Amino acid sequence: DSCRNFHCKRGKVCHVGKQRKPSCICQDPAACPSTKDYEHVCGTDNKTYDGTCQLFGTKCRLEGTKMGHQLHLDYMDACKYIPHCTDYEVDQFPLWMRDWLKNILMRYYKRDLDPSGFLTEKQRSKVKKTYQNDKHLVAGDHAVELLLHDFEKNYHTYVYPVHWQFHQLDQHPADRLLTHSELAPLRAALVPMEHCITRFFQECDGDQDKRIALTEWCHCFGIKE
């Protein structure tokens, strides 16, 4: 099978030509496997697609056009109304997001009672000190002033969660740059102030290349170089 070890980027599939040579062609959106309702995704064109296969296949077929260039995965769910993000909210976003990321890792650490848990041994050792510190800020709705005070006082406990989330998202491909589509998992109802995520990262993109580098990501979360 010529396609066995031949990899294509998202939106394309391997095709074997007349001379048995493999090449990548656009995925036919109509040929994508059927999906469940919870697998629907929303594109930046505010259109609901039956899964990422259909969205990226559509994007591939529009390659070279303005519409294709602008089409990305916006978030994992059917398209919905997203309220406006105010200037005040986008300013406070890093406070809530840092706290949320730290507590997500703490929750994973607590669940991982065996070696086959979500976190690797190296990741667990990074989170262990924060978890064992009985003075750490517990999960909950805290005032902005308290979140800011805790960040300044316990800065070191927030550095790893911010780095960890970047590398969790950096998968397609793993190139130390986050695209609009790689940020899509953050646009979920469980994420605090998720309606501000798009605006926040647009403003984080200092060089306006539509990709978030690790340095830009850390700067936006107040992590020193």
Classify residue 1: in a domain, yes or no. no
Classify residue 51: in a domain, yes or no. yes
Dihedrals φ, ψ of 211, to 5°?
-140, 145
| Segments forming the whole domain that contains residue 195 | 87-221
pLDDT value at position 173?
Answer: 84
Tell whether 59 and 103 lie within a shared domain. no
pLDDT tops 90 at residue 49: yes
Q: Which residue has the higher pLDDT, 99 or 137?
A: 99
pLDDT value at position 70?
Answer: 87
Domain count, the chain: 2
Task: Read off the CATH number of the domain in which 50 is found.
Answer: 3.30.60.30
**C-alpha distances out from residue 184 to 19, 28, 33, 181, Å:** 39, 23, 21, 5
pLDDT value at position 116?
Answer: 58
pLDDT tops 80 at residue 189: no
Mean pLDDT of 129-143: 80
**Which token pair is 12?**
């394309």
At 146-168, the pLDDT tens digits run 999 999 999 999 999 999 999 99
Long-range Cβ pairs for the range 31-35 (8 Å, 24+):
32/57
pLDDT grade for 97, boundaries at 50, 70 and 90: very high
Tell whether 34 and 62 lie within a shared domain. yes
Last residue of a domain, one of 76, 97, 121: 76
pLDDT grade for 134, boundaries at 50, 70 and 90: low
Q: How far apart are the first and last CA of the chain?
A: 48
Classify residue 4: in a domain, yes or no. no
| Residues 117 and 108: beta-carbon distance below 8 Å | yes
Question: DSSP readout, 146-191?
Answer: HHHHHHHHSTHHHHHHHHHHHHHH--TT-SSEE-TTTTGGGSSTTS
pLDDT grade for 210, boundaries at 50, 70 and 90: confident
